[in-house]
Amino acid sequence: MAVPDFQTIMLPFLQRTSDQLEHSFSDVSGFIASLYNLSDDEISELVPSGRQTRLMNRVYWVSTHFKKALLIEPSKRGSFRITSRGLDLLNKNPTRIDLATLRNYPEYVEFKDGKVSRIVSKPIVESVISETPDEILDASYKTIRDSLATEIVEKVKTCSPAFFERLVVELLVKMGYGGTREDAGQAIGKSGDGGIDGIIKEDRLGLDAIYLQAKRWENTVGSPEIQKFAGALQGRRAKKGVFITTSEYSKGARDFASSIENKIILIDGVELADLMIDYNVGVSVSASYEIKKIDSDYFIEE
């Protein structure tokens, strides 16, 4: 099964601490993983940002809500224990603990309504919340990024072939290929080979060469185009090639590229847009947000 949402794991989280001993985040996450028979892949699944596992992220946010409701309290660094209020809640034998449950505690209501309502412009139905703030933020970022990528692809398709070639060069140089931009620019579009648009250095020393094919297309690129490119590489005794298109590749094209001895990397329109975003080609920063966390080391008293 998938990792349970963070409201679902609230009850087992508190039950784990019912022995009134100190517990750590890893201890509670291990207990929940065992309780729900999570697989190794599910336990190691990361949130979209890649900074933390989904399970640990949800355990962390449950602890945050519990501390605000005074159900648990911090003990030593990275550990916590249940409070008398938390024990009282468990003694009522609840079948579920969720955000609505926590609203029975005035300290939690003050935290939620006093802080959050200043930020959120419309009410949130807490009973249907299944993701943590980190996951919601990551999902929102992905939505914005996907929309930008779509816009980039459509924009590139309207550009001239010469501009597209320059864009490819600039991207590869920013990725660390081609030496200087001037060196790379001299290599593009001058080979005279029907299957090759250009040659670029693999590194600044020019120890190897990468052969390029750049197609600003609307239609799907099929295997014949890749076969033609592979033949051109073989004619030059080249071992590495990059085929870049603004459209997409057929399954046959990808299967052929993966089956031959020469290394041919296929980059479609979506992948091209993602690389442009990652390496800041044709895009600029609209807004920047810093997500901060507590520095536990700072508060250690010797």
Q: What residue segments make up the domains of the chain, in order of their start?
A: 10-131, 153-278
The per-residue pLDDT for 245 is 92
Q: Cα(13)–Cα(144) distance, rounded to whole angstroms?
A: 34
The per-residue pLDDT for 118 is 37
The per-residue pLDDT for 190 is 53
Cα dihedral 11, 16, 18, 22 in deg (nearest 10): -130
The per-residue pLDDT for 209 is 80
Give the architecture-level CATH label for domain 153-278: 3-Layer(aba) Sandwich (3.40)
pTM, two decimal places:
0.63
Q: What letter would DSSP give residue 298?
A: G
The stretches in the chain having pLDDT less than 70 are: 1, 114-130, 179-196, 204-206, 296-297, 300-302
Class of domain 10-131: mainly alpha
219-253: per-residue pLDDT in tens? 899 999 999 999 888 887 888 899 999 999 999 99
